[in-house]
């Protein structure tokens, strides 16, 4: 595949064959070679063949092979003749990250971290198939899927001020629970407030470095501060919604006369019956995922209160932001000098809106949207901010994490979970994991260098560094 180096941090796949637009990848030379090896670039080119795609098929520096779309893929589609694709959102709908801050200095409470991590692991159900502590009545599942976080806060899980620190105010409009299958409901019914497995985690962190003091002040972040990062998604409900609609979309694409370069790119016109139904069901899964994180936030606050013998309010345990990185959204963007409404797919990519944007919470509007980028559990994570350049270059998008370089099976073959746990604890990182096998799958060696990925986004201008956070303790499924 021919590649054109636009600059050291942006590459282009020229438009050829059935491609309607070029492909563009934010990466350096080394990461481009890795993407080429695992054929993720072919997926970028395939997405460029879909009807109604605008400007370019994009990928972030954490790009790796995914279902249909590469993970790290971004694509915007015209509302009139474009499509919506479950493969452009992914199976873990609204998988995302939230960051909580405290007024505690990590060096002053270092001795309490092992006990805190233990309490978090006791309070938050983690692992495949684990049930949550929230008991819903049958009709309440519809309320949760339609109304999202404001509804779950009304049930006592959180504070009203949390709503202003969540993307879309915690509830994506357009959800229709009648379009979520009985099987999806069954899978999700007992899972609000559960971490799951894979790369999901609850992590106690310390702010190691501040790069932008103005933005950090706006976000309530300071050096040596103790924070908690939470990474989770829509669990079995979201997975089943994707499964159900992938099956529906194949025939829908054929009826619409859409020729697919890869059947995993099954899609339907945005305005079609299938397109509208998928979006409405996806919105239910988005709201479910955000409620899942909100219930766990309540458990985190309870854990802090138990360990520190003080209220969450006194500890300053406040939500900085919650952002999803597997979602399709209807947004306004400037294209060709005019404002147009588009359906923007972000699969393993994070929204990165600039200062002044009306979709940024008012309290952060002067600084720009917080962007939360988890790394691996042995290195670091980052807090970034959105930029004007992102709106011009990437439909207001940036990376979502480090990105895998090694499959889970390969990681298990190369790494022993108990040895990894010992190594992390020798680094001063307390680890609680449901299984050593699952821990091995998420070893730092299985991921790209998050410092490199974030540096590329910073230098490309699609997000700017605010703070670096180092892990002190982690809970894994």
| Tens of pLDDT, residues 25-81 | 999 999 998 888 888 999 999 999 999 999 999 999 999 999 999 999 999 999 999
The token pair that represents 81 in the structure block = 């003749």
Q: pTM of the full predicted structure? A: 0.96
Please state, in angstroms and rounded to a whole number, the distance separating the CA atoms of residues 20 and 22.
7
Query: What confidence score (pLDDT) does residue 130 get?
Result: 66
Q: What angle do CA 265, 269, 272 make, to 5 degrees?
A: 130
Query: What confidence score (pLDDT) does residue 230 get?
Result: 97
Give the CATH superfamily of 4-405+447-476: tRNA-splicing ligase RtcB (3.90.1860.10)
Going from the C-alpha of 176 to that of each of 134, 246, 248, 281, 282, the distances in angstroms are 22, 18, 17, 6, 9
Cβ burial, residue 313 (10 Å; 0-12/13-18/19+): exposed
Going from the C-alpha of 339 to that of each of 336, 359, 360, 394, the distances in angstroms are 8, 15, 18, 15
Query: What confidence score (pLDDT) does residue 129 get?
Result: 64
Cβ burial, residue 91 (10 Å; 0-12/13-18/19+): buried
DSSP 418-471: HHHHHHHHHTT-EEEES-HHHHHHT-GGGB--HHHHHHHHHHHTSSEEEEEEEE
Residues of the chain with pLDDT under 50: none
List the domain boundaries for the chain: 4-405+447-476
The yes-or-no answer on residue 400 being catalytic is: yes
Query: What confidence score (pLDDT) does residue 65 get?
Result: 93
- Mapping DSSP to helix (H, G, I), strand (E, B) and coil, where does residue 267 land? coil
Query: What confidence score (pLDDT) does residue 408 get?
Result: 84
Catalytic residue among 400, 418, 458, 464: 400
């Amino acid at each position: 595949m021919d590649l054109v180096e636009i600059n050291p941090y942006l590459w282009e796949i020229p438009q050829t064959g059935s491609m309607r637009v070029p492909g563009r990848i934010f990466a350096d030379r080394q990461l481009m070679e890795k993407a080429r090896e695992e054929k993720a670039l072919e997926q970028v080119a395939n997405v460029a063949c879909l009807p109604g795609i605008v400007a370019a098929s994009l990928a972030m520096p954490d790009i790796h092979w995914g279902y249909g779309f590469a993970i790290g893929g971004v694509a915007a589609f015209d509302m009139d003749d474009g499509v919506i694709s479950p493969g452009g959102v992914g199976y873990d709908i609204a998988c995302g990250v939230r960051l909580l801050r405290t007024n505690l200095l990590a060096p002053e409470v270092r001795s309490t971290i092992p006990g805190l991590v233990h309490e978090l692991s006791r309070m938050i159900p983690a692992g495949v198939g684990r049930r949550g502590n929230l008991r819903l009545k049958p009709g309440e599942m519809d309320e949760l899927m339609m109304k999202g976080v404001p509804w779950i806060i009304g049930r006592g899980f959180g504070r009203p001020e949390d709503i202003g620190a969540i993307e879309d105010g915690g509830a994506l409009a357009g959800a229709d629970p009648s379009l979520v299958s009985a099987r999806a409901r069954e899978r999700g019914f007992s899972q609000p407030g559960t971490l799951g497995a894979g790369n999901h985690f609850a992590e106690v962190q310390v702010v190691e470095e501040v790069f932008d003091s103005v933005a950090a002040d706006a976000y309530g972040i300071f050096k040596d501060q103790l924070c908690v990062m939470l990474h989770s998604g829509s669990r079995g409900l979201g997975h089943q919604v994707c499964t159900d609609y992938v099956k529906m979309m194949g025939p829908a694409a054929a009826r619409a006369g859409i020729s697919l370069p890869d059947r995993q790119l099954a899609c339907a016109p945005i305005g079609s019956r299938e397109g509208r139904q998928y979006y409405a069901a996806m919105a239910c899964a988005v709201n479910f995922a955000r409620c899942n994180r909100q219930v766990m936030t309540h458990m985190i606050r309870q854990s802090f209160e138990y360990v520190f013998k003080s209220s969450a309010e006194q500890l300053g345990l406040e939500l900085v932001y919650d952002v999803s990185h597997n979602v399709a959204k209807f947004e306004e963007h400037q294209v060709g000098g005019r404002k147009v409404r588009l359906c923007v797919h972000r699969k393993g990519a994070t929204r990165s809106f600039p200062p002044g944007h009306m979709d940024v919470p008012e309290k952060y509007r002067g600084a720009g949207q917080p962007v939360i980028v988890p790394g691996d559990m042995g290195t670091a994570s980052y807090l970034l901010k959105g930029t004007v350049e992102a709106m011009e270059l990437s439909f207001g998008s940036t990376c979502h994490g480090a990105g895998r370089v090694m499959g889970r099976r390969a990681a298990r073959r190369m790494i022993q979970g108990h040895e990894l746990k010992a190594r992390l604890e020798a680094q001063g990182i307390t680890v609680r994991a449901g299984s050593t096998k699952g821990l091995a799958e998420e070893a730092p060696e299985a991921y790209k260098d998050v410092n490199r990925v974030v540096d590329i986004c910073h230098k490309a201008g699609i997000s700017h560094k605010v703070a670096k956070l180092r892990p002190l303790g982690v809970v894994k499924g």
